[in-house]
Amino acid sequence: MNIKKARKIMSNLITTILFLLLILMIYIVVSTKISGGEPQFLGYQLKTVLSGSMEPTFQTGSIIVVKKTANSESLKKGDVVTFKSGPYSLITHRIKDVIQKDGKLMYQTKGDNNKHADMNALLHENIVAKYTGITIPYLGYLMNFAGSSKGAIFFLIIPGLFFLGYSALTIRKVFKEIEQRAIEAEQGINKSM
């Protein structure tokens, strides 16, 4: 394979990666703004770990992937769940006990790093998602920044400008190649005369 062909393949690869990165950043920022929180995709949500209550399972600033529960009655002891603790507050803790009381299914939860179980048992209707087992350390700091106005500028405008700049360089290179070929063709015509 010659050098020009290798450069062209690399150029196409870099362009594709930059374009996909830009699309991903747009999706993350827009879905974060629309949902008013973490982005979601196909029923999965990314949740930022804001406290150390689940350490060492989840470190503060990590992202965890949770899936909305279709049947919260099937949860069992040991499952990690995200639940409503108020109108605008979600908590992720581990189920320590399953309780049947007065015909109602309830769960006792506790943060792995907390000394005591959560004060009130949960009704199964308050559980919104179950942890999938996927954790991405430190990405939560980045996601919180992406949700801010400065983050939106950083993750949308800067990659967009980088992509446009790279595209401009690629177009400039193509024009130079066209000029060079035209010059070579003209020189070839002049030599044959």
Q: Using CA atoms, how far apart are residues 83 and 107, in angstroms rounded to an integer?
A: 11
pTM of the model as a whole: 0.60
Q: Using CA atoms, how far apart are residues 160 and 137, in angstroms rounded to an integer?
A: 26
Given the residues 51, 74, 148, 167, select the one marked as catalytic: 51
pLDDT tens column, 135-161:
888 877 777 777 677 877 777 777 778
Q: Using CA atoms, how far apart are residues 139 and 189, in angstroms rounded to an integer?
A: 60
The closest of 121, 95, 98 to 110, measured between CA atoms, is 95
User: Quick one: which H or E segment has residue 93?
Assistant: strand 89-101
pLDDT tens column, 9-68:
887 888 788 778 777 777 766 766 666 566 666 777 778 888 888 888 888 888 888 888
- The CATH homologous superfamily for domain 38-151 is Umud Fragment, subunit A (2.10.109.10)
Q: Are 87 and 163 in contact (CB under 8 A)?
A: no
Looking at residue 106, its pLDDT comes to 86
Which SS3 state, helix, strand or coil, does residue 160 take?
helix
CA angle at residue 107 from 101 to 113, to 5 degrees? 145
Residue 93: pLDDT band (50, 70, 90) is very high
Residue 187 vs residues 174, 182, 183, 184, 193: alpha-carbon distances, Å: 20, 9, 6, 5, 10
Let me know if 31 is a catalytic residue.
Answer: no
Q: Decide if pLDDT at 96 tops 90.
A: yes
Q: What is the mean pLDDT of residues 160-184?
A: 81
Task: Compute how many other C-beta atoms are within 10 angstroms of the C-beta atom of residue 107.
Answer: 25
pLDDT tens column, 108-119:
999 988 999 888
Looking at residue 193, its pLDDT comes to 58
